[in-house]
Structures are given as C-alpha cells and as structure tokens.
Structure 1
Amino acid sequence: MTTQTRAARLGQIVLFGLGAGLGTGALSVLIGAVLAGGLTRSGAATALGWGGLGLTFLAGAIIYSQNGQRQIETGMRARLGEGYRAPGLPWAQILTALIGAGVLFLGQFALR
C-alpha cells in the first residue's frame, strides 16, 4: 500500500466534488425538465439551485449524524468507565458535498 500525499488527497476530494456536482446537476436538470415538460434556461437554473441545496443539506446531515453517533458512543463508554476520544468529522465526505454544491450554485449563477 502506498502512502498518499496531502495534495494528492485534496486533489482527489476536489475531483470527487466536481463529479458529485456535475452528476447531481445533470440529474436535477433532467428531473426539472421532465416535471416542467421542457427545458428552459430559468428552469435549468432553478433545478441547479435545488440540486445545490440538496448537496448542502447532505453535508449538514453528515455532520449531524456524526455528532449524534459521537454522543452515543461517548455515553456508552462513560457508563463502562472507559475514556474515549471520538473520531473527528469525516471532512472528505463533507467537503465533497460542499464542493459539489458550490459547482451547482456557480452554474445557477451563470444561467441567471
């Protein structure tokens, strides 16, 4: 197993974020076009806004879930008399979702 540099890992997160943004954007524009009965510029911008909002909520849900899990694990370990240092937030997943949301919001801004 080879080690990965910090720059390579950051580049991978950005690449995954761009992929998440483009994939979510394509899906949200497709759904918006089907629901509206056609594709317009303002409809695509609105769909990209909703997709970006969805990815932003996804990042928040990851944080919320991780904090809840941390509290449960800490409480269970405290009852057993064990000290426990909970793991940190999964920043790779959070940043991937937020970068994807940023891509969609930029696309929305460009279409307006």
Structure 2
Amino acid sequence: MTTQTRAARLGQIVLYGLGAGLGTGLLCVLVGALLAGGLTRAGVATALGWGGLILTFLAGAIIYSQNGQSQSESGMRARLGEGYRAPGLPWAPILTALIGAGILFLGQFALN
C-alpha cells in the first residue's frame, strides 16, 4: 500500500468532483431534453441548475446523516457510561459533491 500525499488526495477529490458534475449534468440534460422534446440553450441551463441543486442537496444529506449517526452513537455509549468522541465529517464525498455542483452552476451561469 502506497502513501498518498495531501496534494494527490486533493487532486483526486477535484477529479472525482469534475466527474460527478459532468455525469450529473449529462444525465440532467438528457432527462430535460426527453421531457421537453428537444434541446435548447435555456433547457440546458435549467437542467444544469437542477443538477447543481441535486449535488448540493446530496452534500447536505451526507452532513445530516453523519451528524445523526454521531448523536445516536454518543447517546448509546452515554447510557453505557462510556466516553465517545464522534468522528469528523467525511470531507471527501462532501467536497466531491460541492465541486460537482459548482461546475454545474458555472455552466448554467455561462449559458445564461
């Protein structure tokens, strides 16, 4: 197993964020084109906006889920009289979703 530097890990997160943004954007544009019956510039901009919202809500759901899990675990351990330090947030998936959302919002801004 090789050690990964901080810069390499950050580059990997940015690359995954780019992939998440492009994949989600493509899926949203395809769905929008199918629903609208065609592909227009305004339709693509709207689809990219929806894709950005989906990824933003995904990042929020990850945070919400992690906080709920930490509270549940600390409550159970408190009943047993054990101390518990909750783990931190999973920053890699959160940043991946937010980078993807930022790319989609930039695409929407460029088309409007």
- Fold match (TM-score > 0.5): yes
Letter in 1 for 2:33: A
Give the deviation of 1:38 after TM superposition: 0.2
1:82 and 1:7 map into 2 onto residues whose CA distance is 37
Instruction: Work out whether 1:8 is the aligned partner of 2:14.
Output: no
1:80 and 1:93 map into 2 onto residues whose CA distance is 32
- 1:33 alignment partner, SS class: helix
Aligned match of 2:58:
58
Aligned match of 1:38:
38
Give the deviation of 1:62 after TM superposition: 0.3
Letter in 1 for 2:37: G
Aligned match of 1:47:
47
Structure 2 residue runs without a partner (length 5+): none
- Aligned pair count? 112
1:26 and 1:76 map into 2 onto residues whose CA distance is 43
- 1:49 alignment partner, SS class: helix
Q: CA RMSD in A?
A: 0.3
1:105 and 1:99 map into 2 onto residues whose CA distance is 10
Superposition TM-score, scaled by structure 2 size: 0.99
2:17 and 2:107 map into 1 onto residues whose CA distance is 14
Aligned match of 1:84:
84
Aligned match of 2:105:
105
The ranges of structure 1 where at least 4 consecutive aligned residues each deviate by more than 4 angstroms after the TM superposition are none
Aligned match of 1:24:
24
| Identity between Structure 1 and Structure 2 (%) | 88
2:50 and 2:21 map into 1 onto residues whose CA distance is 12
1:42 and 1:49 map into 2 onto residues whose CA distance is 11
Letter in 2 for 1:27: L
Structure 1 residue runs without a partner (length 5+): none
